[in-house]
Copies of this chain bind each other. A is one copy, B any other.
Amino acid sequence: MRAAPETSALPRRPDERPRRDPLAALGAFLQQKGLKHSRQRQAIAQIFFDMGGHVPVDALVARVREQDPRVSVATVYRTMKLLAECGLAVPRRFGEGQTRYEPADHHHGDAHDHLICTACGAIVEFESERITALQRRLARRHGFEVERRRVELYGRCAGCRGAAAKEPA
């Protein structure tokens, strides 16, 4: 799982949340690992966090290239892998064959689930402690200790259901 800040030892001051500034966190990670803080990494991370949501890699590449056309796909993939490694981004795959990345500090726990509209592709996040608790309990009953969950509900969003009703195909 992701490296959450250790709340046990040091109580965080409200105005100094590490996960509030992902770029700073990335910088710290790089430094600590002896990696380099390159122009491309900076740009990719910056744009990624600016975009927010669930970003497909190709969309990120496009955006980055608006700013610096010579950035390669390889570098974007490598950088996103890095962000995932240090817990700042989470890779998602919604069955479209492509990987999307989601900022990890988006929600507190990243235990949220996704609703995906099969008509317009909209992605909505939701979270339910009850569901996760039930799942954990059921998993335990089968001898499993849950480390990671993936819950995706596919269907039609309100808008698309409305559109279908008005204008039946």
Contacts and interface: CB of A to CB of B under 8 A. Distances in A.
Interface of A: 93, 95, 113, 115, 117-118, 124, 126, 128, 130-131, 134-135, 138-139, 141-159, 161
A134 to B, nearest CB: 5
B134 A117 contact: no
B131 A153 contact: no
17 contacts: A95-B150, A113-B135, A115-B144, A126-B138, A126-B141, A128-B134, A131-B131, A139-B153, A143-B157, A143-B158, A144-B158, A145-B161, A147-B156, A148-B154, A149-B151, A149-B154, A151-B151
A115 B139 contact: yes
Given A131-B131, A131-B134, A145 B155 contact: yes
Nearest to A115: B144
Given A130-B134, A135-B153, A147 B124 contact: no
B153 A149 contact: yes
Given A124-B142, A131-B135, A155 B147 contact: yes
A149 B150 CA distance: 11
Contacts of A145: 155-156, 161
A158 to B, nearest CB: 3
Given A93-B95, A131-B131, A144 B155 contact: yes
Contacts of A131: 131, 134-135, 138
